[in-house]
């Protein structure tokens, strides 16, 4: 290796102007800005602009119309109090569960953790139907109560209380996951310091641990709250029958009339609710959450020994999980197999006729096929686009890419109904391009807008973990920029893209809130059909269709769990160094 | 000797901050050249400009007879067109490729035949003592082994110039020392010119043929390790390289290259030292001394005049030497003696000065010149 070779390359460069145009970053930036502009900015602009327009004039008439009819502002009020109470209940369930799992010596922690986050995998509409079959007028729990006490039960599932309860048992995993995560990462020396000062374990939890995880509780509560105001399936199944409306169901009603200006104005109100709450939570976090105590260490922390109470705590946990997580699914499966709900559980009453009916119905078959097309299409488009945006933002540090990333993340904070309304406004009579309303394309556009943030989040965070020097090393090794992307960046980004893809697929496959507003005959989805069947009294068929989709969702859900574990192990490697 | 790398007037600004300020230097064939300075001094920016990872605003960079950067003609070859190998502080070993693929990658992108790649990667692995590790994944290697892979990857194409960006700073002390020797050996064996960036002066003094000392974007001195240590160009270099303690003194008179001073708590001690460009003509001054410039004598034996009174405050045993913190007047000075001479803490000593730098007391600007570089 002693003889020194001549430089390996000697190139003449194109003139500066040509280079400027050839720069792939600018070309990519332009195309991506166009994509985000059409799929996200234009529909959003439509909602806000149209809600302020009456007959081509600026006017607040649409908003005064909303407040002139009590049923409209009642919906706003109902959304608020139902979501607040549901979030409160979710916080209690989620925080208690997190403390029991992370800070007591209860056994079976692995199994319990899996069961506790299972509601994430079950679409809210399924839970709502399941709970109707359990606690509705002819529900299992209702029957058991009658047999035990000889009187009608003291609850009514078709009520605000029913909605609050089902929202809470659907959304508590948000709180559980954030709080359990914070407890796991908390620096245990803070608790040990209290223990060496002679404080008992329960007192430590109250005085030290709980205040320290308050930011995590708030964060989880925010997610649960946004998810509650966003929800359509639960208040639709449990509230509309009792004439109890929230904003999402009111918007649905307004669109069936159809009263577009009213739906638009209410959408904007829904956005305002979301923003106000977001800001309120941020402020709470800002003043209370300034502790930098949650480090990366994981050491066995302050654990409360349950002693004799251990089997009882375990029994209560399992019982609760069976009732709130497994029973609704069980009821759904049973409904799909019984001739009619309330029939005796004897052999002659079991039947596959609901399945046969569903599969013989051409519309439902179409729905299944449409969802099987839409979910992977949306997931693929989003992941590719967001990988490019994230690359420009994080790695190429292209000016404007951060803004693009921010804009594309906005719809994440928007309730699904708003996205649905914006789709109709933008694409039923568009200012440019073809009319997408009445085709599958409008659903695809809606899903892209709704789930863009999922793709960006997973690709952005993966790219941020890839140390800059990994790319620079390839570059100084002689690889061109594009070759570096192909050989280094993409292979390292792939796990993040896959995780994002699966998450979007699961979410889009069962999407209801947006779909129910923009479906048309020929362009229905599984979620829409389940809702329509349930709404028109064919609960058996709705359950059958739901049960058919469950294996797909559950398998993919387990796949994501496995991916997350794999990712955690890979993380230190991707960081570009590993400790000796 | 021919210059492999020549920088002329290189200037790089980030907004209003000038990270690299008009730097010119050249590196000869077979030379191990280190850039050293505190963090933020611009040494890494200089290295990254040489690699092509940063574009400077002014100046030229010539490499092995070709201009790779010229701000005037806006010529700026990308890193993949420059004949370099580079090793990063964070190793940057690709986690999804095994060791063989990592080292072979620079050859692969240059479309070198598969057999040839195999031969050359194996030669690099042998040289680094990792002959059997080709199939391993990076996560199965220790930090030192990963850094060796990074070095192998940079050597694989037999570059004209090897760039090293604090390659040893992530390793523990023992490993750092053995890697230091290994790196030096590789350089001797291959004859590769090396541009090495570090903040660790010990590392730079031990390995380099020449050292460039940087501060706030400015190159203060270029010279051999002994030159930089014994004839610092500026006050900054004097402070940054090695250890110095300052004592007040008074210049009695200058005679040619010699200066006579009086120092000590009551001016009881005297010495004759060599002058530098910062030495004042007359009056109060500062005496800058390195730990090995001072002599300690137990006060009972110190009958001879010319020594200052001092007292040992703290002592530290270093194995091969003692280090004392000695109070002289209001000042604490660090003194290093051989391990045979053990003095108790609190004992009175007589302090003599063998060598030192007499500098002006009221002007301690960092760029004040001591010895001009030829």
pLDDT tens for B182-212 read 888 888 888 889 999 998 888 899 889 999 9
Query: Which comes out higher in pLDDT, residue A270 or A173?
Result: A173
Query: Mean pLDDT lowest for which of A117-121, A163-167, B259-263, B268-272?
Result: B268-272
Q: In what order do the strands lie in the sheet with B210-215?
A: B84-87, B161-165, B194-198, B32-36, B210-215, B218-223
Task: Please tell me the total number of residues recorded for chain A in this structure.
Answer: 580
Does residue A103 contact residue A303 with C-beta atoms inside 8 Å? yes
User: Looking at chain B, which residue has its C-alpha nearest residue A4?
Assistant: B160
Does residue B357 contact residue B274 with C-beta atoms inside 8 Å? no
Q: What are phi and psi of B19, to 5 degrees?
A: -80, -35
Asked if the Cβ–Cβ distance from A4 to B160 is below 8 Å, we say: yes
Asked if the Cβ–Cβ distance from B53 to A475 is below 8 Å, we say: yes
Task: Give A12's contacts in chain B (Cβ within 8 Å).
Answer: none
Q: What are phi and psi of A215, to 5 degrees?
A: -60, -40
Query: Mean pLDDT lowest for which of A284-298, B22-36, B79-93, B292-306?
Result: A284-298
CA gap B131, A551 in Å, rounded: 50
CA gap B117, A54 in Å, rounded: 72
Tokens representing residue B156 in the block: 């694989």
Query: pLDDT, tens digit, for every residue of B3-53?
Result: 899 999 999 998 888 999 999 999 998 899 999 999 888 999 999 999 999
CA gap B26, B48 in Å, rounded: 16
From the list B155, B160, B175, the residue facing A7 with the nearest CB is: B160
Q: What are phi and psi of A392, to 5 degrees?
A: -60, -40
Using the predicted structure, report yes or no on whether residue A573 has a pLDDT greater than 80.
no
Let me know if A345 is exposed, middle or buried by CB neighbors in 10 A (0-12, 13-18, 19+): exposed
Task: Identify the residue among A395, A396, A467, A476 best suited for mutation to test binding to B, counting B beta carbons within 10 A and taking the highest.
Answer: A476
What is the three-class DSSP state of B2? coil
Q: Rounded to two decimals, what is the model's pTM?
A: 0.82
Task: Give B172's contacts in chain A (Cβ within 8 Å).
Answer: 580
Q: What is the pLDDT of residue A381?
A: 97
Task: Give A572's contacts in chain B (Cβ within 8 Å).
Answer: 139
Pick the closest to residue B75 from A26, A16, A25 (CA basis).
A16
What string of H, E and C letters represents the secondary structure of A510-560? CCCCCHHHHCECCECCHHHHHHHHHHCCCHHHHHHHHHHHHHHHHHHHHHH
Task: Give A4's contacts in chain B (Cβ within 8 Å).
Answer: 29, 64, 158, 160, 191
Predicted confidence band of residue A294 (pLDDT cuts 50, 70, 90): very low
Using the predicted structure, report yes or no on whether residue B329 has a pLDDT greater than 50.
yes
CA gap A316, B33 in Å, rounded: 71
User: Looking at chain B, which residue has its C-alpha nearest residue A8?
Assistant: B83
Predicted confidence band of residue A36 (pLDDT cuts 50, 70, 90): very high
Q: What is the pLDDT of residue A19?
A: 59
Q: What is the pLDDT of residue A531?
A: 93
Asked if the Cβ–Cβ distance from B110 to A8 is below 8 Å, we say: yes
From the list B63, B81, B96, the residue facing A11 with the nearest CB is: B81
From the list B86, B94, B155, the residue facing A470 with the nearest CB is: B94
Does residue B94 contact residue B102 with C-beta atoms inside 8 Å? yes
Predicted confidence band of residue A160 (pLDDT cuts 50, 70, 90): very high
User: Looking at chain B, which residue has its C-alpha nearest residue A488?
Assistant: B94
Task: Identify the residue among B95, B108, B156, B158 best suited for mutation to test binding to A, counting A beta carbons within 10 A and taking the highest.
Answer: B95
Task: Give B189's contacts in chain A (Cβ within 8 Å).
Answer: 1
Sign of the CA dihedral A477, B167, B88, A9?
Answer: negative
Query: pLDDT, tens digit, for every residue of B120-138?
Result: 999 999 888 888 888 888 8
Asked if the Cβ–Cβ distance from A580 to B175 is below 8 Å, we say: yes
Residues B221-245, mean pLDDT to the nearest whole number: 91
Using the predicted structure, report yes or no on whether residue A173 has a pLDDT greater than 60.
yes
Pairing of strands B32-36, B194-198: parallel
Q: What is the pLDDT of residue A579?
A: 38
Query: Which comes out higher in pLDDT, residue A573 or A41?
Result: A41
Does residue A233 contact residue A123 with C-beta atoms inside 8 Å? yes
Does residue B220 contact residue B236 with C-beta atoms inside 8 Å? yes
Residues B95-102, mean pLDDT to the nearest whole number: 91
Judge whether A7 is closer than 8 Å to chain B, CB to CB: yes
Nearest-Cα distance to chain A for B235, in Å, is: 35
Task: Please tell me the total number of residues recorded for chain B in this structure.
Answer: 374
Query: pLDDT, tens digit, for every residue of A93-112?
Result: 999 999 888 888 888 888 88
Tokens representing residue A367 in the block: 């729905």
Sign of the CA dihedral B235, B238, B240, B246?
Answer: negative
Asked if the Cβ–Cβ distance from A487 to B105 is below 8 Å, we say: yes
CA gap B164, B89 in Å, rounded: 8
Query: Which comes out higher in pLDDT, residue A23 or B24?
Result: B24
Let me know if A547 is exposed, middle or buried by CB neighbors in 10 A (0-12, 13-18, 19+): buried
Task: Give A16's contacts in chain B (Cβ within 8 Å).
Answer: 74
- B-contacting residues in A 521-580 (Cβ below 8 Å): 570, 572-574, 576-580
- B-contacting residues in A 9-68 (Cβ below 8 Å): 9-11, 13, 16
From the list B51, B91, B109, the residue facing A577 with the nearest CB is: B91
Q: Number of A:B CB contacts under 8 A?
A: 134
Judge whether A346 is closer than 8 Å to chain B, CB to CB: no
User: Looking at chain B, which residue has its C-alpha nearest residue A472?
Assistant: B53
**Euclidean distance between the first and final Cα of chain A, in Å?**
30
| Mean pLDDT, chain B, whole residue set | 87
Q: What is the pLDDT of residue A574?
A: 44
- Residues near A258 by Cβ (< 8 Å), separated by ≥ 6? none
């Amino acid at each position: 290796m002693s003889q020194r070779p001549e430089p390996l390359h000697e190139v003449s460069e194109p003139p500066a102007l040509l280079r400027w145009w050839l720069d792939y970053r600018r070309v990519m930036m332009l195309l991506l800005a166009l994509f985000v502009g059409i799929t996200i900015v234009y529909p959003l602009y439509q909602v806000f602009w149209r809600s302020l327009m009456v007959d081509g004039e600026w006017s607040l008439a649409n908003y005064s119309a909303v407040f002139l009819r009590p049923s409209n502002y009642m919906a706003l009020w109902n959304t608020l109090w139902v979501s607040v109470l549901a979030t409160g209940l979710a916080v209690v369930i989620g925080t208690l569960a997190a403390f029991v799992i992370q800070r007591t010596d209860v056994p079976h922690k692995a199994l319990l953790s899996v069961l506790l986050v299972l509601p994430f995998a079950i679409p809210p509409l399924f839970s709502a139907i399941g709970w109707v079959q359990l606690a509705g007028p002819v529900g299992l729990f209702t029957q058991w109560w009658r047999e035990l006490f000889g009187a009608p039960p003291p609850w009514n599932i078709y009520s605000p209380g029913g909605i609050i309860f089902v929202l809470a048992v659907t959304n508590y995993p948000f709180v559980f996951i954030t709080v359990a995560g914070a407890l796991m990462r908390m620096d245990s020396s803070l608790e040990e310091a209290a223990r060496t000062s002679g404080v008992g374990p329960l007192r430590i939890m109250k005085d030290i641990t709980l205040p320290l995880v308050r930011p995590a509780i708030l964060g989880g509560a925010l997610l649960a709250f946004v998810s509650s105001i966003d929800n359509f399936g639960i208040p639709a199944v449990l509230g509309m029958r009792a004439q109890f409306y929230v904003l999402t169901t009111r918007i649905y009603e307004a669109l069936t009339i159809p009263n577009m200006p009213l739906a638009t104005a209410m959408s904007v109100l829904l956005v305002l609710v979301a923003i106000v709450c977001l800001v309120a939570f941020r402020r709470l976090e800002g003043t209370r959450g300034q502790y930098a105590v949650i480090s990366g260490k994981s050491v066995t922390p302050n654990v409360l020994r349950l002693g004799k109470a251990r089997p009882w705590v375990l029994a209560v946990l399992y019982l609760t999980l069976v009732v709130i997580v497994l029973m609704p699914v069980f009821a759904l499966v049973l409904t799909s197999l019984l001739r009619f709900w309330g029939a005796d559980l004897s052999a002659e009453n079991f039947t596959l006729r609901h399945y046969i009916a569903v599969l013989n119905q051409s519309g439902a078959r179409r729905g299944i096929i449409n969802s099987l097309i839409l979910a992977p299409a949306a997931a693929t488009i989003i992941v590719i686009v967001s990988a490019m945006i994230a690359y420009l933002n994080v790695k190429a540090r292209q000016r404007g890419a951060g803004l693009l990333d921010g804009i594309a993340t906005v719809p994440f904070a928007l309730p699904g109904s708003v996205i649905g309304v914006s789709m109709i406004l933008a694409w039923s009579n568009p200012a440019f391009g073809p009319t997408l309303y009445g085709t599958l394309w409008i659903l695809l556009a809606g899903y892209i807008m709704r789930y863009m943030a999922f793709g960006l989040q997973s690709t952005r965070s993966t790219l941020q973990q890839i140390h800059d020097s990994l790319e620079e090393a390839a570059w100084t090794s002689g690889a061109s920029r594009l070759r570096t992307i192909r050989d280094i960046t993409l292979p390292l980004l792939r796990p993040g893209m896959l995780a994002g893809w699966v998450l979007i697929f699961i979410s889009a496959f069962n999407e209801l809130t947006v779909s129910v507003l923009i479906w048309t005959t020929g362009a229905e989805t599984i979620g829409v059909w389940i809702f329509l069947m349930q709404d028109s009294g064919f609960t058996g068929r709705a359950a059958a269709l739901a049960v058919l989709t469950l294996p797909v969702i559950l398998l993919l859900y387990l796949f994501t769990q496995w991916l997350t574990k794999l990712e955690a192990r890979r993380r230190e490697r991707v960081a570009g160094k590993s400790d000796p | 000797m021919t210059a492999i790398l020549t920088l002329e007037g290189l200037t790089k600004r980030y907004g209003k901050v000038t990270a690299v300020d008009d730097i010119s230097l050249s590196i000869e064939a077979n030379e191990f050249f280190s850039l050293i300075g505190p963090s933020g001094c611009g040494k890494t920016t200089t290295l990254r400009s040489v690699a092509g990872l940063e574009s400077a605003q002014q100046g030229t960079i010539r490499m092995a007879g070709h201009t790779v950067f010229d701000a005037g003609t806006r010529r700026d070859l990308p890193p993949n067109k420059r004949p370099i190998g580079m090793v990063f502080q964070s190793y940057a070993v690709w986690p999804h490729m095994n060791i063989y693929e990592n080292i072979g990658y620079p050859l692969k992108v240059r479309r070198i035949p598969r057999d040839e790649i195999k031969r050359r990667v194996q030669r690099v692995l042998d040289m680094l003592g990792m002959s059997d590790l080709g199939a391993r994944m990076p996560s199965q290697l220790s930090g030192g082994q990963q850094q060796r892979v990074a070095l192998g990857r940079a050597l694989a194409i037999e570059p004209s110039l090897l760039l090293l960006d604090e390659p040893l700073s992530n390793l523990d002390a023992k490993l750092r020392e053995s890697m230091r020797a290994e790196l030096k050996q590789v350089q001797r064996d291959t004859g590769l010119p090396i541009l090495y960036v570090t903040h660790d002066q010990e590392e730079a003094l031990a390995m380099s043929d020449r050292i460039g000392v940087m501060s706030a974007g400015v190159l203060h001195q270029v010279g051999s390790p002994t030159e930089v240590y014994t004839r610092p160009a500026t006050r900054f270099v004097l402070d940054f390289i090695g250890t110095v303690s300052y004592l007040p003194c008074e210049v009695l008179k200058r005679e040619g290259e010699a200066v006579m001073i009086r120092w000590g708590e009551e001016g009881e001690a005297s010495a004759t030292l060599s002058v530098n460009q910062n030495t004042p003509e007359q009056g109060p001054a500062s005496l800058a001394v390195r730990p090995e410039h001072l002599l300690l004598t137990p006060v009972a034996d110190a009958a001879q005049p010319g020594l200052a009174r001092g007292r040992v405050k703290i002592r530290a045993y270093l194995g091969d030497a003692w280090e004392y913190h000695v109070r002289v007047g209001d000042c604490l000075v660090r003194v290093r003696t051989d391990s045979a001479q053990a003095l108790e803490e609190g004992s009175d000593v007589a302090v003599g000065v063998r060598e030192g730098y007499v500098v002006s007391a009221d002007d301690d600007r960092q760029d004040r010149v001591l010895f001009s570089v030829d």
